[in-house]
Amino acid sequence: MNLEQLYDTLKKSQEKKGAFFNKDKDLVFELLESLQLNKERYGYMACPCRLASGDREHDKDIICPCEYREADMAEFGTCYCGLYVSEKVKNLEMEPTYVPERRPAEKIL
């Protein structure tokens, strides 16, 4: 799957869940490229902004979309890496802010 196909596939599936791509398309495509690289490297699309271990079970919380995305978007307007934004950010009803790491310290290498 090329980057455009990945973009179209994720856009369609994630918008149904209230997650929208960041308006910065350059950032989005850099992150999508990193997701594809992680898929080639590890066999799964680990969050490109976190250090994956290569153990799918250990990293299941950071497989994109990560399990922290919903809470991050609700509280801060964007996910940790900035790939996805909330509907409020998309509609300019909320300004995204810094997203702290929610992943437990014992899961971080």
> Is position 106 within any domain?
no
Q: Which of 46-50, 81-85, 90-94, 105-109 has the lowest mean pLDDT?
A: 105-109
Residues 28-67 have pLDDT tens digits of 999 999 999 999 999 999 999 999 999 999 999 999 999 9
pLDDT band of 1, cuts 50, 70, 90: confident
- The total domain count for the chain is 1
14: containing domain: 3-99
Residue 73 lies in a domain: yes
pLDDT of 109 higher than 80: no
CATH number for the domain spanning 38: value is: 3.90.460.10
Q: Exposed, middle or buried, 7 (CB in 10 Å: 0-12/13-18/19+)? A: middle
**Per-residue pLDDT tens over the stretch 15-29:** 999 999 999 999 999
Asked, for residue 27, whether it belongs to a domain, the answer is yes
As a whole number of angstroms, the distance between CA 61 and CA 38 comes to: 15
Percent of the chain residues past pLDDT 70, beyond the cut:
99
Query: Distance from CA of residue 53 to its chain's centroid?
Result: 17
In a domain? residue 85: yes
- The mean pLDDT of the chain is 96
